[in-house]
Amino acid sequence: MAGDAAHVHSPFGGQGLNVGLLDAVNLGWKLAAVVCDRMPESLLDSYTEERHPIAARVLANTRAQVALMRPDVMTDALREIVADLMSLDEGTRYFGEMISGIRIRYDLGSDHPSVGRLSGNFALGDDCAETTLFDQMEDGRAVLVDATDGAASAIAARWDILVRCVPRRGGASLLIRPDACIAWAADDADTTGLDAALTRWFGPAMQ
């Protein structure tokens, strides 16, 4: 269902493989939710809505990379500029994230800059000593990282089988889907929109 066997673009950098892995991660938890009758089939529509633009971007990226291999004077000049950009930390980060497939943002309808992006791994606060976000995601549940002194967790508790709540001292509160996509975020104690995000991605409250 997802993979890298039939290339429609250059395999340079393994970008098709990276996209295939992220496709599978994006779709897997949604299929599980539908098969287990926790969510309607309409949830699966979000797979195409989220992943198709990413695949289109990969096609554009690989076409640009192939164009940079042309043996002519004009492309030589362009290659030098790209090399200069890649010598900068920001340039290296940009191209690395682009090729790996993690420089993405799904349009989830939020103005918060973190919503729609994939969360990286990070250490959690003192109340969760010696643990990281990815440790908390191992059982396939969503994770609510709560920096609101429990206000957000009180809301998410109604989805307790599907969402694990973990405390955080300082920083943003984040609702992170099983595919590591940030579905909701708040930089202060405001929990506006959390209930709607939980319902959107995990169905009606169970309590």
The pLDDT value recorded for residue 199 is 96
Average pLDDT for the chain: 89
- Host domain of residue 157: 126-202
Residue 108 lies in a domain: no
* pLDDT above 70 (res 4): no
Residue 6 lies in a domain: no
CA distance 83 to 65: 12
- Out of 48-57, 73-82, 189-198, the most confident range is 189-198
Residue 176 lies in a domain: yes
Higher-confidence position of 108 and 21? 108
Tell me which DSSP letter residue 119 carries: P
pTM of the full structure: 0.86
Q: Which residue shows structure tokens 């949604």?
A: 30
Q: How many domains would you assign to the chain?
A: 2
* The last residue of a domain, from among 100, 117, 140: 100
Residue 67 lies in a domain: yes
The pLDDT value recorded for residue 2 is 64
The answer on 197 and 133 residing in a single domain is yes
β-pairing, 142-146 vs 163-167, is parallel
The pLDDT value recorded for residue 41 is 95
The pLDDT value recorded for residue 126 is 60
For residue 30, name the pLDDT band (cuts at 50, 70, 90): very high
The pLDDT value recorded for residue 98 is 82
For residue 171, name the pLDDT band (cuts at 50, 70, 90): confident
* pLDDT above 70 (res 8): no
Residue 80 lies in a domain: yes
Contacts of 42 (CB under 8 A, 6+ apart): none
The answer on 130 and 96 residing in a single domain is no
User: pLDDT tens digit string along 106-140?
Assistant: 999 999 999 999 999 988 866 556 789 999 999 99
Q: What is the CATH number of the domain that holds 156?
A: 3.40.30.120
Residue 151's beta-bridge partner residues? Answer: none
The answer on 41 and 93 residing in a single domain is yes
What percentage of the chain reaches a pLDDT higher than 70? Answer: 92
For residue 3, name the pLDDT band (cuts at 50, 70, 90): low
User: pLDDT tens digit string along 63-93?
Assistant: 888 888 899 999 999 999 999 999 999 999 9
Residue 116 lies in a domain: no
The pLDDT value recorded for residue 6 is 62
* The last residue of a domain, from among 83, 100, 117: 100
Q: Which residue shows structure tokens 């290339």?
A: 7
Q: Are the beta carbons of 195 and 184 closer than 8 angstroms?
A: no
Find the helix packing angle between 89-100 and 73-86, rounded to 10°.
100
* pLDDT average, residue stretch 46-57: 92
